């Protein structure tokens, strides 16, 4: 009897222990883990990802870097076909990739809704095929959703923005895919080259157009 219990009980205990380990493991949410693994970026389950395209990625980082709860911003390329694209390739408009920015944030300190609102007020969503002085599909505006919740927020706010501005909204909503960080010299460009950055932003007419579109809401959350 003792031998029988040992022979059949041990495998049963192993199976029960394995099931306990599976059910007790922390759940991975699509926005926090899956996309991070796909993009090759390391993050904890506490941090979520948001990915936006708003024209030149140099000009997108500053507004988001100021937000309490944003852990980091990364300029990069996504949405296209070419693997490991370079800036020289993307700027031709033939890779399908879009200049984008990936935001890592703490949802306990800042909501995804707030980040999307900040995006809207930093772009001209009525402009097609580019942003400000940068023209071409590689500069178009896109909200890349990492899960169904983000997609729902993106769609509902796009409808609201269209009603507010009274014009067709050209900003697309796409499912997030592989994100390729841009070359190091593009990261935090506004900090590394403040004079060149300010001149480019002024010459491109970004702030003047934002003011014309959004008024007092321009560049605000």
Where helices occur in 44-188 by DSSP H, the ranges are 61-65, 87-90, 112-120, 148-165
- CA nearest neighbour of 152 among 169, 175, 168: 175
**Cα(50)–Cα(146) distance, integer angstroms:** 7
Give the active site residue among 56, 59, 133, 204. 56
Q: Six-digit token pair at 31? A: 């926005």
**Cα(63)–Cα(60) distance, integer angstroms:** 6
| H helix or E strand, kind and range, residue 70 | strand 70-78
Q: What's the burial of 138, exposed, middle or buried (CB within 10 Å: 0-12/13-18/19+)?
A: buried
* 56 catalytic per annotation: yes
CB–CB of 146/157 below 8 Å?
no
Question: Which active-site residues does the annotation give?
Answer: 56
């Amino acid at each position: 009897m003792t031998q029988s219990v040992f022979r059949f009980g041990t495998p049963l205990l192993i199976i029960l222990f394995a099931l306990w380990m599976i059910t007790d493991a922390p759940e991975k949410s699509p926005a926090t883990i899956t996309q991070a693994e796909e993009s090759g970026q390391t993050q904890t389950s506490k941090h979520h990802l948001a990915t936006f395209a708003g024209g030149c990625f140099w000009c997108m980082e500053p507004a988001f870097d100021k937000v309490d709860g944003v852990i980091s911003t990364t300029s990069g390329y996504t949405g296209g076909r070419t693997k490991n694209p370079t800036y020289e390739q993307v700027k031709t408009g033939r890779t399908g990739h879009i200049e984008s920015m990936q935001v890592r944030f703490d949802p306990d300190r800042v909501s995804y809704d707030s980040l999307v609102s900040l995006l809207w007020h930093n772009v001209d969503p009525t402009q097609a095929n580019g942003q400000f002085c940068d023209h071409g599909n590689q500069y178009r505006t896109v909200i890349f959703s990492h899960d169904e919740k983000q997609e729902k927020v993106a769609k509902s706010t796009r409808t609201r923005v269209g009603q507010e501005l009274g014009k067709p909204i050209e900003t697309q909503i796409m499912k997030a895919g592989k994100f390729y960080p841009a070359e190091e010299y593009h990261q935090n460009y506004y900090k590394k080259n403040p004079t060149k950055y300010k001149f480019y932003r002024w010459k491109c007419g970004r702030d003047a157009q934002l003011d014309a579109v959004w008024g007092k809401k321009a560049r605000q959350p």
